[in-house]
């Protein structure tokens, strides 16, 4: 009984300090500080001049955080512009594996760009302050063509290499087309791996946000790259309140005095220290409950906002769809009308051509008739000596004879005068012509 009581009230044995210089334990949370460019095998020059961090050092810190019993969650405190490709996929895989054993949050108040975002994307959650720079999802491989400078300096570089790609990027030389294609393929392959890693945790990041550009924390949230918090303390408090057990916080926050085992008697009555600890525990539980409620409220507001955006997009899409359908219907009607008008135009054009042909034929006939009439009239004028028109018919001569016979059958001069006046000028010409021939 005494042994159990002592074990309850005695302080837990302190764990040794982390061996990694970039790892610290803050109230149950393992904080890993990632600063500057991330390089594999960074040396003293890289650390002092560039402020770089070795990727293997970060991997070692992650593994140590997993092994420590006083680290219930991992917090990646990042301020890095990126790094070299070499070593980054392995570091990202280390973070991904750790996130399956303990909750891992990534946070930045400065830069979380390029390779740094590749690593952060493998965490369970990503947070940034409003002014932080996030993103730069892409790969770059600059190659300097110094051949013109060498030539201007009077230098000529001759390269002897086994393999057409071996000399790619040699100072003083230019890349061949095959070398450019090969380097471009390498860049595109790494970029594809980068994109797959970023989307592997289910983040709905659009393709237009993965074109190498960086975003402020607020814009990064719009593209689902990160959530926004006011400060580092807010992010780590959120991780702690959700994923660090209360007893772990009590063990790190309180120094429980040891019981004097030499006392001859024990009491079952709670001491003032126990009551204080109980009240503090209750207050902490209430604070945790309040924090959880705040998170739920924030999440619910975000869900409502997203749902509203979805409904708005659906409405806009419906309007656009109706307008598109109407436009297609109008276009189909216009096409049908155009086909009908084209058919009518072709039919009218054919009729016009037919009428024109008929008109030309009639004009030709008319000209022929006029020509024949003119020839006949000229013949009559030459025979009769008069310009009076006469009726020219196929039986003209018989008619002339009949008219002359009728004229001669009239006996008295007065009757002849009346008969002559009743004749037309052409008939009178026929009688005169007939009488001359006699």
Shared-domain flag, residues 226 and 324: no
Shared-domain flag, residues 73 and 118: yes
Which of 63 and 9 is assigned the larger pLDDT?
63
Whether residue 310 is contained in a domain is answered as yes
Shared-domain flag, residues 80 and 108: yes
Total tally of structural domains belonging to the chain: 3
For residue 430, the enclosing domain spans 389-437
Total Cβ atoms within 10 A of residue 201: 14
Shared-domain flag, residues 230 and 317: no
Low-confidence winner among 275-279, 302-306, 344-348 (lowest mean pLDDT): 275-279
State the pTM of this model.
0.55
pLDDT at 398: 67
Whether residue 265 is contained in a domain is answered as no
Whether residue 3 is contained in a domain is answered as no
What is the token pair recorded at 383?
Answer: 């025979």
| pLDDT tens digits, one per residue of 77-108 | 999 999 999 999 999 999 999 999 999 999 99
Distance CA 184, CA 191 (A): 10
Shared-domain flag, residues 301 and 333: yes
Q: Show the DSSP H helices in 100-231 as ranges.
A: 115-120, 147-152, 177-199, 217-222
Shared-domain flag, residues 114 and 173: yes
pLDDT at 335: 84
Which of 303 and 388 is assigned the larger pLDDT?
303
Whether residue 60 is contained in a domain is answered as yes
| pLDDT tens digits, one per residue of 386-403 | 444 444 444 555 677 777
Whether residue 155 is contained in a domain is answered as no
For Cα atoms 68, 71, 74, give the angle at the middle one, nearest 5 degrees.
115
Shared-domain flag, residues 200 and 99: yes
| Nearest alpha carbon to residue 228 among 80, 314, 107 | 107
Whether residue 157 is contained in a domain is answered as no
| pLDDT tens digits, one per residue of 124-158 | 999 999 999 999 999 999 989 888 998 899 988 88
> Which of residues 251, 274, 303 is at a domain's end?
251
| Nearest alpha carbon to residue 119 among 88, 155, 140, 158 | 88
Which of 274 and 24 is assigned the larger pLDDT?
24
Whether residue 271 is contained in a domain is answered as no
Split at pLDDT 50, 70, 90, the class of 216 is: very high
Shared-domain flag, residues 221 and 357: no
Q: At 135, which CATH number? A: 3.90.226.10
Distance CA 191, CA 194 (A): 5
Distance CA 348, CA 388 (A): 47
Shared-domain flag, residues 245 and 366: no
Shared-domain flag, residues 401 and 381: no
**C-alpha pair distances (Å), 182 with each of 85, 89, 186, 187, 195:** 17, 21, 6, 9, 20
Shared-domain flag, residues 403 and 367: no
């Amino acid at each position: 009984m005494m042994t159990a009581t002592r074990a309850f009230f005695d302080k837990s044995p302190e764990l040794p300090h982390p061996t990694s210089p970039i790892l610290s334990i803050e109230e149950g949370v393992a904080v890993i500080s990632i600063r500057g460019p991330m390089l594999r095998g960074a040396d003293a020059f890289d650390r002092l001049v560039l402020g770089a961090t070795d990727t293997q050092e970060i991997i070692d810190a992650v593994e140590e955080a997993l092994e420590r019993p006083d680290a219930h969650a991992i917090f990646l405190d990042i301020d890095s512009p990126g790094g070299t490709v070499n070593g980054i996929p392995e570091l990202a895989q280390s973070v991904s594996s750790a996130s399956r054993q303990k909750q891992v949050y990534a946070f930045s108040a400065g830069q979380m760009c390029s390779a740094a975002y590749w690593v952060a994307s493998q965490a369970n959650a990503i947070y940034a302050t409003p002014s932080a720079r996030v993103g730069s999802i892409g790969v770059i491989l600059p190659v300097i063509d110094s051949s013109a400078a060498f030539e201007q300096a009077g230098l000529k570089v001759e390269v002897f290499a086994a393999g057409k790609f071996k000399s790619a990027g040699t100072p003083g030389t230019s890349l061949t087309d095959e070398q450019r294609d090969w380097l471009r393929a390498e860049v595109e392959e790494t970029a594809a791996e980068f994109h797959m890693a970023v989307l592997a945790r289910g983040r709905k990041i659009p393709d237009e946000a993965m074109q190498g550009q960086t975003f402020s924390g607020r814009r990064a949230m719009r593209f689902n790259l990160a959530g926004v918090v006011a400060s580092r303390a807010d992010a780590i408090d959120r991780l702690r309140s959700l994923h660090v057990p209360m007893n772990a916080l009590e063990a790190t926050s309180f120094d429980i005095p040891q019981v004097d085992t030499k006392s001859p008697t024990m009491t079952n009555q709670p001491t003032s220290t126990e009551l204080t600890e109980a009240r503090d525990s209750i207050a902490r539980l209430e604070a945790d409950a309040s924090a959880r409620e705040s998170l739920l409220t924030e999440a619910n507001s975000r869900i409502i906002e997203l749902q509203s955006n979805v409904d708005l997009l659906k409405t806009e899409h419906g309007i656009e769809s109706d307008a598109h359908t109407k436009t297609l219907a109008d276009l189909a009607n216009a096409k049908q009308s155009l086909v009908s008008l084209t058919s009518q135009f072709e039919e009218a054009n054919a009729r016009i051509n037919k009428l024109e042909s008929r008109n030309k034929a009639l004009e030709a006939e008319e000209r022929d008739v006029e020509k024949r009439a003119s020839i006949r009239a000229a013949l009559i004028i030459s025979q009769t000596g008069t310009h009076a028109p006469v009726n020219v018919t196929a039986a003209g001569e018989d008619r002339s004879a009949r008219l002359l016979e009728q004229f001669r059958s009239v006996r008295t001069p007065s009757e002849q005068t009346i008969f002559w006046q009743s004749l037309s000028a052409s008939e009178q010409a026929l009688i005169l012509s007939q009488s001359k021939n006699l």
